[in-house]
Amino acid sequence: MTSSYLIVLLLVISSTSTSSTREQEEDRIKELPGQPKVGFSQFSGYVTVNESHGRSLFYWLTESSSSPKNKPLLLWLNGGPGCSSIGYGASEEIGPFRINKTGSSLYLNSFSWNTEANILFLESPVGVGFSYTNTSSDLKDSGDDRTAQENLIFLIKWMSRFPQYQYRDFYIAGESYAGHYVPQLAKKIYHYNKTFNKSIINLKGFMVGNGDTDRHYDRLGAVTYWWSHAMISDRSYNSILKHCSFTENTNSNECDYALYYATVVEFGQVNGYSIYSPLCVPKTNQTKFMHGGILVEEEDPCTESYAEIYYNRPDWTVCNEILFKYWDWGNSDHSMLPTYKELMAAGLRIWVFSGDTDSVVPVTATRLSISHLNLTVKTRWYPWYSGNQVGGWTEVYEGLTFATVRGAGHEVPVLQPERALILLRSFLAGKELPRSY
């Protein structure tokens, strides 16, 4: 991104045109179909991030249910790559509403994150959810760099439309492949602010759950988790360790066979994103791309299909398989650890959390990655509490907090919404997780 373009964007975000009020009102949501009455404001709409290609990102803002003017702004990103922050984050995890089983109406989420912050859900990159491009080849040309840059452009333009948030405390959160999106966007914002020697976007920190962090440690940690949780045999475990490099994009034939035997023959029909939860057995062929069979707090295994029904546009899907298939993995950082080091040095608040029943990006992978940051321990490992139950375990380092969430899977707020909310409150307050009930 050139300096001249940054200056233009600065002028955009600094403008005080009355058009922002008009644009806000055009984006205001009066009421969603089947929505219970609420006392907070909602907005949704599009922000163009590339004029020549016609690329536009879709957002949904749910303002805080109490004192929104005094609450921070938190941007939520889902991963995939190619999965919807509306279909997952907003509708199954941290948003104010849940979708009922018929897909025809909504009910309130008792543990919505908008009790603590104004939540901005973003469908990113283009091709995800309601976000679109007028250039079809863009769907086969997505990668980390363009996603981060266009997320930054979105924020700058969005804050021009919503100037009341321009200097508000700002945080980013996400999960899964957002383990790339979140720190990469944070880095873009950090350098953008440095260009002008001021916090134009008042980024305070970020949190990542079960996030892709380092290609080698993510893969090694996953195999270790499978073996330690008796999902694969000793023979398969040793064969994978012997034949797989965990770093290269392509595997040897021996590695491919070992992985095939372990994950297809030995796994059985198990929900890898939450290994102790039941699978969804849908009546129709629902997508099994990235998040098949994810559960809500009642352990309903088919909530993904409810979102497909509720957001009832034929071209809308919870995950875009084309984006995943053609993702530019050569443009994907092998490791986010250098970015973590840079942003810790910049003084950002960084929390990493992990649901402990996820076998896809498991707690073992995250712990391996963190161990290679060689951080100084500030507060030793201890159990944290949710009510009178252990909510998980945590260790606080200089510059980073790590926490597990007991009984949660890949999408932590789905199975453990109350524990996820405690995690958020502690993060926003800059306090350690509660030691007792």
Indicate which residue of 124, 218, 410, 426 is catalytic.
410
Burial class of residue 253, CB neighbours in 10 A (0-12, 13-18, 19+): exposed
291 is catalytic: no
CB atoms within 10 A of CB 137: 9
382 within 8 A of 393, measured Cβ to Cβ: yes
Residue 387's beta-bridge partner residues? Answer: none
Pairing of strands 28-29, 42-50: antiparallel
Query: How large is the greatest C-alpha to C-alpha distance in the chain, in angstroms?
Result: 68
Reading phi first (left if > 0) and then psi (alpha if -120 to 50, else beta), residue 257 is in: alpha
- How far apart CA 167 and CA 169 sit, in angstroms, is 7
φ/ψ of 369, rounded to 5, equals -60, -50
Q: Look at the block and give the residue holding tokens 């992978």.
A: 365
Instruction: Give CA–CA dist 395/437, Å, rounded.
Output: 18
Q: DSSP alpha helices (H): ranges in 82-172?
A: 144-161
Which helix (H) or strand (E) covers residue 222, if one does? Answer: helix 215-228
In the residue annotation, 300 being an active-site residue is answered as no
Task: Exactly one of 27, 144, 356, 358 is catalytic; name it.
Answer: 358
Catalytic-residue membership of 3: no
Strand partners, 62: 42, 119
Render the burial of 362-392: b for 16+ CB within 10 Å, e for the rest: bbbbbbbbbeebebeeeeeeebbbbeeeebb
Residue 402, classed as helix, strand or coil, is: strand
Q: Which residues contact 262 (CB under 8 A, 6 or more apart)?
A: 223, 226, 231, 232, 233, 236, 237, 240
Catalytic residue among 56, 64, 160, 176: 176
Q: Which residues are known to be catalytic?
A: 176, 358, 410
